[in-house]
Structure 1
Amino acid sequence: MFYFLANVAVAAVVSLTAWVYIPGGIWHPSQQVVRAAASRLKPVVEKRAAYVRAALPDWSKYTFQYQGQTFRGKKVLYVNAYCRPLVPPGVKLKHRVIIKRFVRVNDGGSCYFQAYYDPVAKKYLLVGFNGPVPGPAPRPGI
């Protein structure tokens, strides 16, 4: 489920080691666009998680896949995030697994989410967690 978000302005230096480009989009985002999106993502996701009373996994566990797409006639950076490595149980990894196709999960709560970043407005338009998020039920009227 996706929700519209208020603009959250944040400036930070961000490492893109956990950000993976997925080929096949409508346009190719520059590193400048990706860095801007990466620097603004965490506070937006934290705000959304607080709104639905969801606990987020450690941010360093996420892998962020991205692609240049369009949404409602605008160029956007589509971000798909997941926090669990896709390996068989019991296998220990020394390095992050890089997957060149979008990881699609139909549930998983706050471990899996998608977001749309508008590089012109420099803000996230939507963010949504996959399926119900663990934690207390949302407050009435929200």
Structure 2
Amino acid sequence: MLALVQRVREARVEVDGRSVGAIGCGMLVLVCAEPSDTEGQAARLVDKLLKLRIFSDEQGRMNRSVQDIGGGLLIVSQFTLAADTSGGNRPSFTGAAPAEQGRRLYECVVAAARERHPVVETGEFGAHMQVQLLNDGPVTIPITLR
């Protein structure tokens, strides 16, 4: 699984002009499933997200997790994370899981996150979304689980 984590002061997702998910301080997580991914990797991704120490402690060091600060998670599906641009100027997305598998694994990530964290919002799988965020830092961290 691929993920791109952004530490945010706030973030929200809109579809067709309506808000479908919003958080204050926390993490915007863009998620992409690859064809060989499993439910186990989805669970491991949530473990990583909840323990990732990217928030400042009293000394200003990145030493706290989203759980430590009581922040939110905004989880958004993003198949374009699997883009391959090695063959030219038009990206290929064959590295992304097929839509049905991608949806199932995305929903596994969301369900696991909701079981373990009190503030979890989402985008809308397969929709054309507008994502707004106020990146804090900026802090942006790619995660690859294979």
Same fold (TM over 0.5): no
Q: Which has the higher contact order (CA 8 A, sep 6+)?
A: 2
Q: Greater strand percent: which structure?
A: 2
**TM-score of the aligned structures, taking structure 2 as reference length:** 0.32
